[in-house]
Amino acid sequence: MDERRFVARINGRVQGVGYRYFARQLANQMGIRGYVRNTHDGAVEVVAEGNEGLLAKFLGALRHGPVRSHVDSIDVSWGDAINEDFGFIVKS
């Protein structure tokens, strides 16, 4: 299994529109580990680990987001999985 990790910064109208809960629900359905949180400057940060193919699909869904959101851009950095030992959570 090709385990990878990415850190993504999602910019746009992504706070106050259910984006974090959208990401958590999708990640849990896909078996992806990590977390999502709002940043102080209005963006959302997603740290995700799992199968590389599933992560690519997850990232594609993050580009669209939930109905009330609007994603302007996503900055992503990829790396090796560090085997986070938890599910996918929303951090405050």
Measuring CA to CA, how many Å separate 67 from each of 18, 32, 38, 73? Answer: 9, 22, 18, 16
Give catalytic status of residue 28 as yes or no: no
Active-site position among 5, 20, 24, 33: 20
Give catalytic status of residue 37 as yes or no: no
Active-site position among 4, 9, 38, 51: 38
Give dist(CA 64, CA 17) in Å, integer: 13
Which residues form the catalytic set? 20, 38
